[in-house]
Amino acid sequence: MNFEELCLDPRLLRAVTEMGFEQASPIQAQAIPLALEGQDLIGQAQTGTGKTAAFGLPLLQRVDPHNKKLQAVVLCPTRELAVQVAGEIRRFAKFMHGIKVLPIYGGQDISKQIRSLKGGVQVVIGTPGRIIDHIRRHTLKMEMVATMVLDEADEMLNMGFREDIETVLSHLPQERQTLLFSATMPKPIMEIAREYLHQPEIIKVVKKELTVPKIEQYYYEVNPRKKGEVLSRLLDMYDPALSLVFCNTKRKVDELVQDLKGRGYFAEGLHGDMKQSQRDRVMNGFRNGRTDILVATDVAARGLDIDDVEAVFNYDVPQDDEYYVHRIGRTGRAGRTGRAFTLVTGREIYKLKDIQRYCKTKIRRQPIPSANNVTQIRIEKILENVTDQIQSSDLTGLVAILDGYLEEQDYTAAEVAAALLQMAMGEDTGIRKQEDDFGDTGAEPGMVRLFINIGKKQKVRIGDILGAVAGESGMEGDLVGAIDMYDKFTFVEVPREYAADVIEAMQHARIKGRNINIEPASAPPNVDRK
């Protein structure tokens, strides 16, 4: 459903369009019209379904910017979620002047929060404990609150917030709208709903029977900043003739096409804002092989008769289970092999679990290929072609020419073949004999020992190092080897094949707010190992 059909304030519509949302997700299409009417709602929705907009847009539409009093409260289980929801609601409110949105959570300086609240805040997003604290101090006044949202209600109950939630609810005016969102609907949630919601409508996305094509499906857990890099590694490694890459917004489509073009790929984008003539041009390019990567939104891909792509990439996890099935159904048609790859960041993993459950399909986790893996696989592919060439053509004439060359130049046949291989790869393979790469760094066999100029004195813990190394490089945490920490520096061992990636990724990383320097340890350490 289009956002235009949802009777939203033009300023909200403008923000949503600017954010690149192309269509309302199923939960939004159902929740927004009811919420705008002032109806109480119970929404069964997981993170990643667009639930924040489902309650955030109607909530904003009901706020009066001229009234500086508190008018809407969102309760969230964690500080991270509160910050994230506040950020998203702020983006929606971009063109609604005079609306102040503030996240409030435990652990943050309360006097700072009080100062911000004094300036007049209409929308507060907070964790239950801290909200109660402010109610008791009379720094949050609830008498004008017209909309109350319980976000991730099941999670709040799991964290033991039931009593706190009820305390907050009991301070609200009777005359109000309450929206409850939860991924699951256990009994205590229904009890709260019965007690505090007024004739709520229950909305959930009704699942159709979904038939998932039998193709290989993989997912990769990635750092959001590394998505472009991981996608390009997968493209290089699997080298599909035609690929379809899905993004959730028009804006992402445009950004990703630029990114891929910058990396030298023949990629084009398709989304709903494009004129028919532009779409035709892109599609022609894809059909006749000028473009081999098509980046699209769900809406744009819907009307296309392209079924024979070799790989589908979900650059963003789809917002709905059904989209997932539609997307991956574009590959593996007519008995051809097809593969589907999904990049997952942070909490999207829950959405992916949901997809697997509802679609009754298995999406296998794979480690992010290292730059080295990619090169190895490209070499194997070229060598396979070489074998085919030897077996299928008459090379005697060329062999004679090469024999002459080898005699003249005093090179070995292997050296000549290696040079040709490098030329076939079109770049420096970066492959050196292992000893030359990092030398002996004093690590276990197969590992490289890296030096980082930060240690115990800077109050760094082993976990910080582990988190930074794995988080920045996208390498699995359990591949990290020994970590030895001293007062001013730390040694960490990583598998040789990931070492270059880790060094590169950590160049701009910060640990405990500090810039760091990382390099291969120069020699076996003369510091005693504990």
Footprint of ligand AMP (CB under 6 A): 21, 24-25, 28, 47-53, 88, 248-249, 319
Pick 53 or 148: Cβ nearer ligand AMP? 53
User: How many CA atoms lie less than 13 Å away from 457 in the CB half-sphere?
Assistant: 7
Q: Cβ 86 to ligand AMP, closest distance in Å?
A: 12
Q: Cβ 22 to ligand AMP, closest distance in Å?
A: 6
Left if phi > 0, otherwise alpha if psi is -120 to 50, otherwise beta: which for 426? left
Pick 227 or 378: Cβ nearer ligand AMP? 227
Pick 5 or 519: Cβ nearer ligand AMP? 5
Q: Cβ 224 to ligand AMP, closest distance in Å?
A: 10
Pick 110 or 299: Cβ nearer ligand AMP? 299
Gap between the terminal Cα atoms of the chain: 62
Pick 79 or 171: Cβ nearer ligand AMP? 79
Q: Cβ 131 to ligand AMP, closest distance in Å?
A: 20
Pick 48 or 103: Cβ nearer ligand AMP? 48
Instruction: Confirm if 506 and 472 have CB atoms less than 8 A apart.
Output: yes
Q: Cβ 252 to ligand AMP, closest distance in Å?
A: 9
Pick 265 or 358: Cβ nearer ligand AMP? 358
The H helix count followed by the E strand count for the chain is 21, 20
Pick 176 or 251: Cβ nearer ligand AMP? 251
SS (H, E, C) 192-209: HHHHHCCCCEEEECCCCC
Pick 57 or 340: Cβ nearer ligand AMP? 57
Hey, what are 16's tokens? 């949503």
Query: What's the angle, vertex CA 122, arms to CA 121 and CA 124, rounded to 5?
Result: 80
Cβ density class 175-190: b for 16+ within 10 Å, e for less: ebbbbbbbbebeeebe
Q: Cβ 56 to ligand AMP, closest distance in Å?
A: 8
Closest residue by Cα to residue 273 from 16, 2, 22, 14:
22
Q: Cβ 258 to ligand AMP, closest distance in Å?
A: 19
Q: Cβ 369 to ligand AMP, closest distance in Å?
A: 26
Strands 364-365 and 243-246, bridge-based pairing: unpaired
Pick 28 or 490: Cβ nearer ligand AMP? 28
Q: Cβ 54 to ligand AMP, closest distance in Å?
A: 7
Q: Cβ 249 to ligand AMP, closest distance in Å?
A: 5
Rg of the chain in Å (alpha carbons): 28
415-421: long-range pairs with CB below 8 Å, 24+: 421/379, 421/382, 421/383
Pick 86 or 242: Cβ nearer ligand AMP? 86
Q: Helix (H, G, I), strand (E, B), or coil: what is residue 76?
A: coil
Pick 347 or 456: Cβ nearer ligand AMP? 347
What are the φ/ψ torsions at residue 210 (nearest 5 degrees)?
A: -105, 130
Hey, what are 385's tokens? 């072609």
Q: Cβ 317 to ligand AMP, closest distance in Å?
A: 9
Closest residue by Cα to residue 73 from 160, 3, 140:
140
Contacts of 25 by beta carbon, 8 Å cutoff, 6+ apart: 49, 50, 53, 54, 319, 320
Q: Cβ 23 to ligand AMP, closest distance in Å?
A: 6
Question: What is the distance between the alpha carbons of residues 1 and 54, in angstroms, rounded to a whole number?
Answer: 13
Question: What is the distance between the alpha carbons of residues 227 and 233, in angstroms, rounded to a whole number?
Answer: 10
Strands 447-452 and 483-485, bridge-based pairing: unpaired
Closest residue by Cα to residue 88 from 112, 57, 62:
57
Pick 6 or 260: Cβ nearer ligand AMP? 6
Q: Cβ 314 to ligand AMP, closest distance in Å?
A: 13
Instruction: Confirm if 470 and 495 have CB atoms less than 8 A apart.
Output: no
Hey, what are 454's tokens? 């930060």
Q: Cβ 303 to ligand AMP, closest distance in Å?
A: 18
Pick 252 or 496: Cβ nearer ligand AMP? 252
The DSSP string of 139-187 is SS--TT--EEEE-SHHHHHHTT-HHHHHHHHHTS-SS-EEEEEESS--H
Query: What's the angle, vertex CA 505, arms to CA 502 and CA 510, rounded to 5?
Result: 110
371-392 vs 227-238: helix axis angle to the nearest 10?
A: 20
